[in-house]
Amino acid sequence: MTPEPWPLRHLVLRTPRLELRPDEDAGLLQLVEEAHLGVHPPDEMPFLVPWTDAEPEHLGMRSLQWYWSQRAALAPERWTINFLVRVGGRVVGTQGLTGEDFGIRREVVTGSWIGLRHQGRGIGTEMRAAVLAFAFDHLGAAQARSSAFSDNHASLRVSQRLGYRPDGTATVVRRGKRTEDVRLILTPAEFVRPDWNLEVDGFDACRALLGA
């Protein structure tokens, strides 16, 4: 039989409300539509790379090019899975999970966004909990890292709910001004697990690709 050329296309994580699958082109087009509808208020910037400041005519193409580049560069030594997060079959945001030399370091980094119109419903907490459960219980991660600007209260609240602890700060430049980036770390023992169990399909075929 012909070997599976892209095992990640069969990977799926399911929570009570959400379905998370690695990005594919049809879903990315929905993600771009969500980005055009708004990700954050104009006077705020939650991202270290201010991609939402792009002119509307360039936002979609640049977003697609970035996600394609991440997919094309994926290898056991360094990988990023950009899970498309769906509610009722519709993409509402993305939850990223990155591993570098994962087979040795056993560490992952998360990053995410959801459309502004879907915020405030607990989706951000649920989708991060999903990839953390996947990382700890299936990949065998020893720790997970995240970060957020000190004024990104929503992201910091999600981290607090899930059990992260502070791991220092960094001074960075955001829109030409000095700001503080708060670093956070989480271990399996500290993880505040949700009251539901994660369902995972298609992982065994992805194990070697992710260095697990």
Task: Give the tens place of pLDDT for each residue, 104-161.
Answer: 999 999 999 999 999 999 999 999 999 999 999 999 999 999 999 999 999 999 999 9
On whether residue 212 sits in a domain, the answer given is: no
The whole-number pLDDT of residue 163 equals 97
Structural domain contains residue 186: yes
Whether 196 shows a pLDDT value over 90: the answer reads yes
Number of domains in the chain: 1
Mean pLDDT of 178-192: 96
211 belongs to a structural domain: no
pLDDT at position 48, please? 87
What CATH number has the domain bearing residue 186?
3.40.630.30
Residue 2 lies in a domain: no
Local confidence band at 2 (pLDDT 50, 70, 90 cut-offs):
confident
Strand partners, 174: 177
The per-residue pLDDT for 3 is: 86
Inform me whether the pLDDT recorded for 58 exceeds 90: yes
The predicted model gives 178-187 an average pLDDT of 96
In this structure, are residues 62 and 31 in contact, taking their beta carbons and an 8 Å threshold? no
In a domain, 100, yes or no: yes
Domain interval for residue 105: 7-206
Residue 1 located in a structural domain: no
C-alpha 193: how far from chain center = 18
